[in-house]
C-alpha cells in the first residue's frame, strides 16, 4: 500500500487526459462535418482527430484502466459488498466510457473516408455523453456511495440536455 497514493495520482492524471480526448474529439467531428466542403480545413482536422485519438486518448484510457485495476488489486475491499456498491457503479459507467471511446474511433474512421453518416448536430449532442458519465463516476468516487436518486436525476437531466442540443438548428 506504500505506492497506492502514487498509483492513484497516476490514475487521476490518466483519467483527466482521457477525458480531454472524450470532450474534444466529438467537437473536432462537429468542425469536420460542418466544413466538409473545405478540403484544406478538413485535411488539418483529420490530422488532429487521429493524433488526439490515437496518441492521447487511447493510451490515456489504457493507463486509467491499468492503474485502476492495480488499485483494485491492492485494495480488494472496494469490490466487497461492505464498500456499498459505489465502485461497481463507477466501473459500470467507466465501461460505458470505454465503449464511447471506441465509438469515437469508429466515427473517426468513417470521417477519415469522408463518410458523413452523422451531422454536426449529432456530434454536438454526442459530445454531452462523457460529461454525464464522468459526473456519475466522480460523484460516486467523491461520496463513496451509490445513490439511485443521484443516478436517475443525472441520467434524466443529462438525457434532456442531449435531446435539446440535438434538436438545435444546424449553424
Q: Cell numbers at residue 69, please?
A: 485495476
All structural domains of the chain with their residue ranges: 4-166
Q: Give the containing element (helix H, strand E) for 10.
A: helix 4-34
Summarised one tens digit per residue, pLDDT across range 66-124 is 999 999 999 999 888 777 889 999 999 999 999 999 999 999 999 999 999 999 999 99
* pLDDT given for residue 84 in this prediction: 81
Provide the 8-state DSSP code for 168.
Answer: S
Q: Is 38 annotated as a binding residue?
A: no
Q: How far apart are CA 164 and CA 77, in angstroms?
A: 41
pTM of the full structure: 0.91
In order of 34, 44, 56, 121, the CA distances from 168 in angstroms are 14, 27, 30, 7
Q: Is 90 annotated as a binding residue?
A: yes
Amino acid at each position: 500500500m506504500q505506492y497506492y497514493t502514487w498509483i492513484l495520482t497516476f490514475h487521476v492524471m490518466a483519467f483527466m487526459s482521457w477525458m480531454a480526448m472524450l470532450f474534444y474529439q466529438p467537437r473536432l467531428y462537429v468542425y469536420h462535418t460542418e466544413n466538409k466542403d473545405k478540403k484544406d480545413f478538413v485535411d488539418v482536422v483529420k490530422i488532429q482527430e487521429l493524433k488526439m485519438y490515437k496518441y492521447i486518448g487511447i493510451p490515456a484510457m489504457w493507463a486509467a484502466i491499468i492503474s485502476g485495476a492495480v488499485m483494485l488489486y491492492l485494495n480488494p475491499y472496494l469490490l466487497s459488498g461492505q464498500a456499498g456498491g459505489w465502485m461497481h457503479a463507477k466501473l459500470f459507467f467507466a465501461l460505458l466510457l470505454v465503449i464511447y471511446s471506441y465509438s469515437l474511433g469508429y466515427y473517426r474512421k468513417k470521417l477519415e473516408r469522408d463518410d458523413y453518416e452523422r451531422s454536426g448536430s449529432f456530434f454536438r449532442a454526442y459530445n454531452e455523453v462523457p460529461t454525464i458519465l464522468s459526473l456519475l463516476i466522480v460523484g460516486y468516487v467523491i461520496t463513496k456511495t451509490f445513490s439511485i436518486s443521484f443516478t436517475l436525476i443525472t441520467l434524466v437531466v443529462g438525457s434532456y440536455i442531449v435531446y435539446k442540443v440535438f434538436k438545435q438548428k444546424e449553424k
